[in-house]
Structure 1
Amino acid sequence: MPVSAAASAREILVRLHDVMAARTAAQAKLNSVVNIIGEALDSEVCSIYLLREGVLELFATRGLAEAAVHVTKLAMGEGLVGTIAANVETLNLDEAASHPDFAYRPETGEEKFHSFAGVPVIRRERAVGVLAVQHADPRRYADVEIEALQTVAMVLSELIANAGLIDQATTDATRPQSTASVRIEGFRLVDGMAAGAAVFHQPRVVIEHTVAEDVEAERHRVYAAFDKMRDQIDRMASQAEFGVGGEHDEVLATYKMFAYDEGWARRINEAIDSGLTAEAAIERVQQRTRMRMREIDDPLLRDRMHDLEDLSNRLLRMVSGQLGTAAQMGLRQDSILIARNLGPAELLEYDRRRLKGVVLEEGSLTAHVTIVARAMGVPVLGRVRDVRRLIAEGDRLLLDVTGEAVIVRPNLAMEEAFDAKFARGQKRRAAFAALKNVPPVTKDGTRITLMVNAGLRDDVAALDLTGADGIGLFRTEFQFLVSATLPQRERQQRLYRDVLDAAGDRPVVFRTVDIGGDKALPYLDHDDEHLEENPAMGWRALRLALEREGLMKAQARALLEAAAGRTLNVMFPMVSEPWEFDQARALFEAQRKWIAARGRKLPHEVRYGAMLEVPALAEVLDLLLPKLQFLSIGTNDLTQFLFAADRAHPKLALRYDWLSPSILRFVRRVVEPARAAAVPVAVCGEMGGRPLEAMALLGLGIDRLSITPAAVGPVKAMIRSLDLAAFRAHLNACLQHPPTNLRASLEDWATAHGVEIT
Structure 2
Amino acid sequence: MPSAILAARTILTSLHEVMASRTHAQAKLNMVVDLIGENLDSEVCSIYLLREGMLELFATRGLNQDAVHVTRLAVGEGLVGSIAEQVEVLNLAEAAAHPDFSYRPETGEDKFHSFAGVPIVRLERAVGVLAVQHVEPRRYEEVEIEALQTVAMVLSELIANAGLIDDADTIAAPQLTDPRQLSGLSLVKGLAKGHAVFHQPRITIEHVVAEDTEAERARVLQAFDKMREQIETMANQAEFGVGGEHDEVLSTYKMFAYDEGWARRINEAIDSGLTAEAAIERVQQRTRMRMRQIDDPLLADRMHDLEDLANRLLRIVSGQVSTAARLGLRDDTILIARNLGPAELLEYDRRRLKGVILEEGSLTSHVVIVARAMGVPVLGRIRGMRGLVREGDLVLLDGTQGIANIRPTPPVVEAFEARSARSKERQARYAALKDVEPFTKDGERITLMINAGLRDDVPMLNLTGADGIGLFRTEFQFLVSAALPQRDRQTRLYRDVLEAAGEKPVVFRTVDVGGDKSLPYLRGDESGEADENPAMGWRALRLALEREGLMKAQARALLEASGGKTLNVMFPMVSEPWEFDAAKAVFDNQLAFLRERRKLLPEAIRYGVMLEVPALAEVLDVLAPKISFLSIGTNDLTQFLFAADRSNPKLAERYDWLNPSILRFIRRVVRGLAGQQIDITVCGEMGGRQLEALALIGIGLRRLSITPASIGPHKAMFRKIDTRELSEVVNRWIDEPVSDLRGALAEWADARDIDVE
Please classify the TM superposition score into its range, dividing by the shorter chain length.
over 0.9
Task: Return the alpha-carbon distance in structure 1 between the equivalents of residues 39 and 626 of structure 2.
Answer: 71
Matched length: 756
Q: Does 1:555 align with 2:554?
A: yes
Aligned AA (1:741): D
Aligned AA (2:697): L
Moved more, 274-283 or 7-16: 7-16
**Aligned counterpart, 2:413:** 415
Structure 1: stretches of 5+ with no match in the other structure: none
**Aligned counterpart, 2:452:** 454
Aligned AA (1:294): R
Q: Does 1:327 align with 2:325?
A: yes
Identity of aligned residues (%): 72
**Aligned counterpart, 1:687:** 686
Against the structure 1 CA distance between its residues 613 and 409, is the aligned structure 2 distance closer, same or farther, given a 3 Å change threshold?
same
User: 1:185, 1:405 within 8 Å by CA — same for their partners in 2?
Assistant: yes
User: 1:173, 1:388 within 8 Å by CA — same for their partners in 2?
Assistant: no
Task: Return the alpha-carbon distance in structure 2 between the equivalents of residues 448 and 147 of structure 1.
Answer: 63
Instruction: Describe the SS at the equivalent of 1:110.
Output: coil
Task: Return the alpha-carbon distance in structure 1 between the equivalents of residues 137 and 173 of structure 2.
Answer: 44
Task: Return the alpha-carbon distance in structure 2 between the equivalents of residues 182 and 84 of structure 1.
Answer: 30
1:194-233 matches, cutoff 5 A = 194-233=192-231
Aligned AA (2:636): D
| CA-CA distance at 1:642 after TM superposition | 1.2
| CA-CA distance at 1:175 after TM superposition | 5.5
1:334-483 matches, cutoff 5 A = 334-483=332-481
Task: Return the alpha-carbon distance in structure 2 between the equivalents of residues 169 and 723 of structure 1.
Answer: 66
**Aligned counterpart, 1:186:** 184
**Aligned counterpart, 1:92:** 91
1:79-118 matches, cutoff 5 A = 79-118=78-117
Moved more, 4-13 or 26-35: 4-13
Instruction: Describe the SS at the equivalent of 1:364.
Output: coil
Q: Does 1:40 align with 2:33?
A: no
| CA-CA distance at 1:754 after TM superposition | 3.2
| CA-CA distance at 1:436 after TM superposition | 1.0
Instruction: Describe the SS at the equivalent of 2:45.
Output: strand
Instruction: Describe the SS at the equivalent of 1:392.
Output: coil
| CA-CA distance at 1:124 after TM superposition | 0.6
Q: 1:259 aligns with which of 252, 257, 260?
A: 257
User: 2:240, 2:246 within 8 Å by CA — same for their partners in 1?
Assistant: no
Aligned AA (2:651): L
| CA-CA distance at 1:94 after TM superposition | 0.9
Aligned AA (1:703): R
User: 1:210, 1:279 within 8 Å by CA — same for their partners in 2?
Assistant: yes
User: 2:50, 2:170 within 8 Å by CA — same for their partners in 1?
Assistant: no
| CA-CA distance at 1:630 after TM superposition | 0.8
Instruction: Describe the SS at the equivalent of 2:645.
Output: coil
| CA-CA distance at 1:526 after TM superposition | 3.3
Task: Return the alpha-carbon distance in structure 2 between the equivalents of residues 143 and 287 of structure 1.
Answer: 16
Against the structure 1 CA distance between its residues 253 and 497, is the aligned structure 2 distance closer, same or farther, given a 3 Å change threshold?
same
User: 2:511, 2:544 within 8 Å by CA — same for their partners in 1?
Assistant: yes
Moved more, 676-685 or 148-157: 676-685
**Aligned counterpart, 2:589:** 590
Task: Return the alpha-carbon distance in structure 2 between the equivalents of residues 162 and 514 of structure 1.
Answer: 54
**Aligned counterpart, 1:534:** 533
| CA-CA distance at 1:578 after TM superposition | 1.5
CA displacement, residues 696-739 of structure 1 (integer Å, 9 cap, x when unaligned):
01111111100000011111212111111111111111111101
CA displacement, residues 591-650 of structure 1 (integer Å, 9 cap, x when unaligned):
111111111111111111111111121222222222211111111111111111122222
Task: Return the alpha-carbon distance in structure 1 between the equivalents of residues 656 and 168 of structure 2.
Answer: 45
| CA-CA distance at 1:408 after TM superposition | 1.8
**Aligned counterpart, 1:715:** 714
**Aligned counterpart, 1:289:** 287
1:259-278 matches, cutoff 5 A = 259-278=257-276
Instruction: Describe the SS at the equivalent of 1:631.
Output: strand
Task: Return the alpha-carbon distance in structure 1 between the equivalents of residues 259 and 169 of structure 2.
Answer: 35
Instruction: Describe the SS at the equivalent of 2:674.
Output: helix
Moved more, 533-542 or 149-158: 533-542
Task: Return the alpha-carbon distance in structure 2 between the equivalents of residues 34 and 453 of structure 1.
Answer: 61
User: 1:671, 1:701 within 8 Å by CA — same for their partners in 2?
Assistant: yes
User: 1:123, 1:171 within 8 Å by CA — same for their partners in 2?
Assistant: no
Task: Return the alpha-carbon distance in structure 2 between the equivalents of residues 479 and 92 of structure 1.
Answer: 40
| CA-CA distance at 1:170 after TM superposition | 4.2
Instruction: Describe the SS at the equivalent of 2:483.
Output: coil
**Aligned counterpart, 1:239:** 237
**Aligned counterpart, 1:141:** 140
- TM-score under structure 2 length normalisation: 0.98
- TM-score under structure 1 length normalisation: 0.97
User: 1:203, 1:323 within 8 Å by CA — same for their partners in 2?
Assistant: no
User: 1:175, 1:392 within 8 Å by CA — same for their partners in 2?
Assistant: no
| CA-CA distance at 1:529 after TM superposition | 5.1
Instruction: Describe the SS at the equivalent of 1:609.
Output: strand
Task: Return the alpha-carbon distance in structure 2 between the equivalents of residues 123 and 411 of structure 1.
Answer: 35
| CA-CA distance at 1:21 after TM superposition | 2.1
Instruction: Describe the SS at the equivalent of 2:753.
Output: coil
| CA-CA distance at 1:323 after TM superposition | 5.1
Against the structure 1 CA distance between its residues 695 and 676, is the aligned structure 2 distance closer, same or farther, given a 3 Å change threshold?
same
Moved more, 361-370 or 516-525: 516-525
Task: Return the alpha-carbon distance in structure 2 between the equivalents of residues 753 and 321 of structure 1.
Answer: 65
Measured on the aligned residues, the alpha-carbon RMSD in Å equals: 1.5
Task: Return the alpha-carbon distance in structure 2 between the equivalents of residues 475 and 754 of structure 1.
Answer: 36
Instruction: Describe the SS at the equivalent of 2:304.
Output: helix
Structure 2: stretches of 5+ with no match in the other structure: none
User: 1:44, 1:134 within 8 Å by CA — same for their partners in 2?
Assistant: yes
| CA-CA distance at 1:530 after TM superposition | 4.0
| CA-CA distance at 1:161 after TM superposition | 0.7
Moved more, 701-710 or 38-47: 38-47
**Aligned counterpart, 1:520:** 518
Moved more, 668-677 or 214-223: 668-677
User: 1:84, 1:90 within 8 Å by CA — same for their partners in 2?
Assistant: yes
Against the structure 1 CA distance between its residues 33 and 535, is the aligned structure 2 distance closer, same or farther, given a 3 Å change threshold?
same
